[in-house]
Amino acid sequence: MARRCTSASSRRSGSTGPRASSRASRSTCGRRSSGPRASSSRSRSALRASPSCAIRSRASRDRKLAPVELSIRTIAEDEFADYARAVESAFSEVPTAEDIRRERRLLPLDRCLAAFVEGQIVGTAALLPIPMTVPGGDLEVGYVTAVGVKPTHRRRGINAELMRRQLEDGRERGDLVHVLYASEAAIYGRYGYGLATFGLSIDVESDRAAFVRGYEPSGEVRLAEPEAAVPDVLAVHDAVRPTRPGMVQLDEQRFDYTLHEHGADRELPRFFALHEGEAGVDGYAIYRVRHDWAEGMPSSVLTVRDLQALTPGACADLWRYVLDVDLTERVRAWNRPADEPLLHLLREPRRLRATLRDGLWLRLVDVAGALGARSYASEGAVVLEVRDALCPWNEGRVLLEAGAGERGAASPAHAEPDLVCTVNELGAAYLGGISLRQLARAGRVEERTAGALARADAMLGWDPAPWCPYVF
């Protein structure tokens, strides 16, 4: 869930850009990279036994919190249960034994960083390597999750140190891109993340959800038992995924993890509806129903957990199905794509009560490597001056060149820059859904060469809108 990408130590609003990043890096300790190759000499095993250090953040000075002696390393197998409990404590929750087993099946131990004080885990930050669709292809990214600091140790800079160490470790391992869902949007801009996708939340009254004239069903919808439906669901997902940047590869284990609910909703049954088209199963909807019979009247709420389709007809049929389930008063969905087709299927789109919110946050760990790992919509070249105080190996000018529909090439440049921005803005634009001109209108990108913004946007832009429906 999105709540796993949070920090109990970081609830203050933070600004984006190099200045915020430099504050975070100054509050940390240990060896810091001083150039493109400086950190590569430190072996991965160093994360298992890093030197202790005293951390005193600005917040701790303001609140007169005592500095702590901190060590950060990866965890061993017999430490995972304590690790999972530390994660949940940051959210004021207690994991069940099954929660801990589910987390362990998902996360590789060598990507689970823990902050220790006096032998106790007080902070966590994990990463799941996973293939993600990027414009024109596939890229293994680091999906950041399980980030938290115990309430007893908040406001001491522990989260900042964990984030810095995670980025350094990622660079050593060859990571190009890290992504996450944030429980609090103010946290991760200070670490160089940019807002790369938006999610749409909808809440529509079932009896006010008539479709536009001309709609005709294109197939049949049937209910299936969850276990029997999973192979068809994953097959549809595998076919949809290459068409939309931001979507990640799922297997049965990851799929089970993403559907797991926390709190009261974990007891609600899930329903799997499969759409049968001419060629077989070409879409699915997964939903749950919270029943309510206020004063004897049915007023239940149906919540769509996931809905994917290979054809416009299957998409329309599946939405029509969930909107017509008997005894429900409302249909809700969280984190739908910004270009959700239902907006154009309803006769009264205002009835959707659509709300736009931040979605996936993206961080370029290796700017040149990441820019060269995706394709571009049009031919062009642009010199970018990138500012990245937290990851100094990214600082400097880079020439981005690409042909239409081809992978790009990024190389060091000495020419005057066409555009100047921080790594946050490049991360926001990386999947093709956020334009640099949008960011420039917000004062976040500087155009030094007339026409460079339009040229860069023509290269970087992509359709459809990026979207990651699965939160780890």
What's the confidence (pLDDT) of residue 52?
44
The pLDDT tens digits for 405-428 are 999 999 999 999 999 999 999 999
pLDDT for 41 beyond 50? no
Alpha-carbon distance of 165 to 27, in angstroms, equals 13
Residues annotated as catalytic are: 188, 472
What's the confidence (pLDDT) of residue 375?
99
What's the confidence (pLDDT) of residue 266?
78
Nearest one of 211, 310, 303 to 259, comparing CA atoms = 303
Cβ 199 vs Cβ 25: under 8 Å:
no
Cβ 447 vs Cβ 461: under 8 Å:
no
Cβ 470 vs Cβ 254: under 8 Å:
yes
What is 139-157 written as a DSSP string?
EEEEEEEEEEE-GGG-SSS
Return the minimum-mean-pLDDT range out of 19-28, 82-91, 210-219: 19-28
pLDDT for 40 beyond 80? no
Average pLDDT over the chain, rounded to whole? 88
For the chain, give the percent of residues with pLDDT over 90: 81
User: What class has domain 2-198?
Assistant: alpha beta
- State the pTM of this model: 0.86
CATH superfamily of 367-460: SCP2 sterol-binding domain (3.30.1050.10)
What's the confidence (pLDDT) of residue 63?
53
For the chain, the farthest-separated pair of C-alpha atoms sits apart, in whole angstroms, at 74
What's the confidence (pLDDT) of residue 21?
35
The pLDDT tens digits for 363-380 are 999 999 999 999 999 999
Alpha-carbon distance of 400 to 367, in angstroms, equals 10
- Tokens 């921005």 locate to 421
What's the confidence (pLDDT) of residue 26?
33
**What letter represents residue 288's amino acid?**
R
Return the minimum-mean-pLDDT range out of 119-133, 181-195, 232-246, 291-305: 291-305
- The helix, strand and coil proportions of the chain, stated in percent and rounded to the nearest 5, come to 35, 30, 35
- Which ranges in the chain are annotated with CATH 3.40.630.30? 2-198, 199-358
- Which ranges in the chain are annotated with CATH 3.30.1050.10? 367-460
The pLDDT tens digits for 258-286 are 998 776 777 899 999 999 999 999 999 99
Q: Mean pLDDT throughout 45-52?
A: 41
Give the confidence band of 247 by pLDDT, cuts at 50, 70, 90. very high
- Tokens 């957990």 locate to 305
CATH number (2.40.50.180, 3.30.160.160, 3.40.630.30, 3.40.50.740) of 199-358 reads 3.40.630.30
Alpha-carbon distance of 332 to 326, in angstroms, equals 15
What's the confidence (pLDDT) of residue 183?
87
Angle, alpha carbons 266-200-244 (nearest 5°): 95
Q: Mean pLDDT throughout 457-464?
A: 98
